[in-house]
Amino acid sequence: SGGSLYIRPLLFGSGARTGLQPADEYTLLIFVVPAGNYYKGGLQPVTGVVVENYDRAAPQGVGSAKVAGNYAADLLPNIESKKKGFPISLYLDAKTKTLVEEFSTSNFMGITKDGKKYVTPESPAILPSITNKSLMTLAEDEGLEVERREIPIEEVGSFSEVGACGTAVVVTPVNSIVYKDQVIKIQEDSNTIGPWTTKLYERMQGIQFGKEDDKFEWMVKV
């Protein structure tokens, strides 16, 4: 069916405190929910937009942690972006507004024009996605060189492929990104999906659904 069981642990302070201080008691819960195939008709490329009036995470903040507050900062910008017709938003660093950080709920990845490098941003404000980490492992296994470094927004147009990677989608192809008054085109044809994005997505799905050998021993029986 292409479906999966989404498992999410959640830890929250539940002690009887009202002051602004760490809780003295915590509750751990794990909820599971069946999820259908995100792309029922196969991978679907999208157009993204750079968020200019809001910041996702502050320098020296908790952007690299899986905390609810990081998602709260994106709620209003996400609504505004979707009203304008953009299903996905890209955030720049809060300090200089020049460096790519990540999409609303997904890490940024790019493939260089020569098809030899998988590039993803390096920043203490970015959540270290396990999906991105897995894609980097697969990219290296396919012979690509992986670079984790600063990516100026001006460099985005030089990539042959750009994707947003996260748990639910694995990777969403991003064929163009609107920034200020310009459209940064990654693929000339808005319906084209790059070969590396397709390859990495199919390998990830193959391992997840047992169609490909789990050579990295990622799968755990639940």
What is this structure's pTM?
0.93
Q: Rounded to whole angstroms, how far apart are CA atoms 25 and 181?
A: 50
The per-residue b/e assignment along 183-206, b for 16 or more CB within 10 angstroms, e otherwise, is ebebbeeeeebbebbeebbebbee
pLDDT at site 11: 96
Q: Rounded to whole angstroms, how far apart are CA atoms 79 and 96?
A: 24
In three-state secondary structure terms, 75 is: helix
Domain ranges of the chain: 4-35, 47-208
Catalytic-residue membership of 117: no
pLDDT at site 43: 85
Each residue's pLDDT, cut to its tens digit, for the chain (222 residues) gives 677 888 999 999 999 888 889 999 999 999 999 987 766 667 899 999 999 999 999 888 999 999 988 889 999 999 999 999 999 999 999 999 999 999 998 999 999 999 999 999 999 999 999 999 999 999 999 999 999 999 999 999 999 999 999 988 899 999 999 999 999 999 888 888 999 999 999 999 999 999 999 999 999 887
pLDDT at site 1: 67
Q: What's the distance, Cα to Cα, between the start and end of the chain in Å?
A: 19
The tokens 């947003």 sit on which residue? 164
| 142: Cα within 13 Å, side-chain hemisphere | 23
Selecting among 66, 113, 211, 221, the annotated active-site residue is: 66
Fold of the 47-208 domain: D-amino Acid Aminotransferase; Chain A, domain 2 (3.20.10)
